[in-house]
Amino acid sequence: MIGVSPKQVKQTAADKLLPAGVGFRVTQAPGRLRKTALTEVDHLIVVAASRPPPSLWRELPGLRSLQPRIKRLGKLAAGRALRGMLGNSTTAATLGLLPAPAAGSKAALPGTFRLLGFAGALVADALAEEPRSVGLVVHGMEADDARRIAKAVVLALGAHGWQAPAFRKEHRPATLKKVQLLGLHEQIDLQRPFAEIEGLNMVRGLTALPANKLTATTYRELLAGLAARHGWEFEWLDEKALAKLGAGAFLAVAQGNASRDAGIARLRYRPGGQTGQPDLALIGKGIIFDTGGTNSKSAIHMLDMHTDMSGSAVALAVLQALSALRSPLSVDCWLAITENRSGASAYKQRDVVTAANGLTVEVVHTDAEGRMVLADALALAGRDKPRLMLDYATLTGACVHALSERYSGTFSNRDTLNELLIRVGQESGERVWPFPMDEDFDDDLKSKVADISQCISGGEADHILAARFLQRFVPEGIPWVHVDLAAATRKDGLAHVPGSCTGFGLRYSLSLLLDHAADLQELASPGTQPRHR
């Protein structure tokens, strides 16, 4: 075991692997729109209703050249990025006409997912020529709607301005340095969007790192640096410490590694010096490279397995965002960090191992390693009796097949949470769908030689069986939600996030924990009925 207090931790070279924070500065000029300010930026984004009122052309006469194009497109103009120049100036302009809200909705704006996607399209157009400064005008909207639109555009600017890790000799830094919000009803608070941008890009940056850059050792050093920066307590449970704790499921996966640097990290955030049981435990799967183990993956399925640690990055980013926002929640964050390698010492099918809660597990498939490392992380996290447990993992291909990469799956030991989990996904723009957790699924996990089988040999309902397996390691009485991150990566991006790593889970978790804290407490309270075990 390696224990580190915030004051003892020193910054290391691994800290350089972290993505930079928000790379641009935002200024705000609310109230009457100053015409000269429009041409002081390199690119102007203007958002208006799907049917722009005549006042748009009066207040921004430089956009009149777009009127004939809008008339030709008709209804097809809504939701599109229309490019032009701002009159005779050198300022380029992107006009976006809002897509219509869902049929039957009384809202003026589309849902969050569509609004973020719309903002992402506008920002992609605006940043195509690498401007150093961007302005935003939201025309003709009520104050609350204008605020939502402005925050969506700022989030999109943060997502599109991010640069993936690259190890080229020549490096071109991001060009965007200044964003101006012009003519809003009032100045808006951007603390939450900035925390979301930094958290999102942390997930994307860590997930995109090659496995020889983000090793278990550099991950540990990186966590130590973050602990020092944010004032967290940090503890690294190495293999010897985990053996003493009986974490045989994690150690079975780690035993095939070439080096003995795997471990489970524990980070503690205690606002105001709180003591006692934590309000929240965040648990993340941190498989920094997954070969499939003895049951090796094919080359095409192994190609991007450096992203299999995305769950740990999400848990870490949620902790960072809660800390940055000075949440009153006391939080423990547990990250199970190892590779899953093949070789003479790797674990095998039909091995029987003992997990940290004393349950014996029969190994059926070595590529089901995620549930093994999470089993011990959940069991260890549960010893401190947190009031809520949330875990994140790129756990099963079955969840991707069920939902695609547009949604992620949720699973809980509280039926009462399911409606809230869906609603939070709709409001945050990170959509989820809850799956059944009926008791009879356990029939498939019965073993003749151990307390439980790790999985079945076929793929039927593997995402549900994985969740039922994990539930056995959550102490009874503790509300728990498992997020199977089917949407962790998507080639075409998701909502406002372009390309590949999406950072899915960060906005969702903040919405659940901060915007719906009262609902969550009520629905997950000890008085509610847990799913029958």
Residues involved in catalysis: 297, 371
- DSSP letter string over 270-316? -GGG--SS-SEEEEEEEEEEE--TTSPPPHHHHTTGGGGGHHHHHHH
Q: Which residues pair with 433 in a beta bridge?
A: 409
* Number of C-beta neighbours around residue 147 at 10 A: 17
79-94 burial, b at 16+ Cβ within 10 Å, e below that, comes to bbbbbbebeeeebbbb
Number of helices and strands (H, E) in the chain? 17, 18
Give the rounded distance of the alpha carbon of 260 from its chain centre.
Answer: 29
Tell me if 393 sits within 8 A of 467, measured CB to CB.
no
| Close Cβ partners of 473 (under 8 Å, ≥ 6 residues apart) | 355, 356, 357, 359, 374, 375, 376, 378, 379, 382
Across the beta sheet with 452-453, the strand order is 352-354, 360-362, 452-453
Q: How far apart are the first and last CA of the chain?
A: 33
Task: Spell out the alpha helix ranges (H) of 167-309.
Answer: 191-208, 216-230, 239-244, 248-254, 299-302
Residue at 506: amino acid letter: L
Ramachandran quadrant class, 99 (left: phi over 0; alpha: psi -120 to 50; beta: rest): beta
The crossing angle, in degrees rounded to 10, of helices 369-382 and 462-471 is 30
Residue keyed to tokens 């704790």: 245
Separation of alpha carbons 384 and 386, rounded Å: 6
Token pair of 396 as six digits: 């099963």
* Number of C-beta neighbours around residue 431 at 10 A: 21
CA atoms within 13 A on the CB side of 226: 29
**φ/ψ (deg, to 5) at 175:** -90, -30
Token pair of 163 as six digits: 């640069």
Give the rounded distance of the alpha carbon of 518 from its chain centre.
Answer: 22
Residue keyed to tokens 């974490």: 247
Separation of alpha carbons 89 and 190, rounded Å: 30
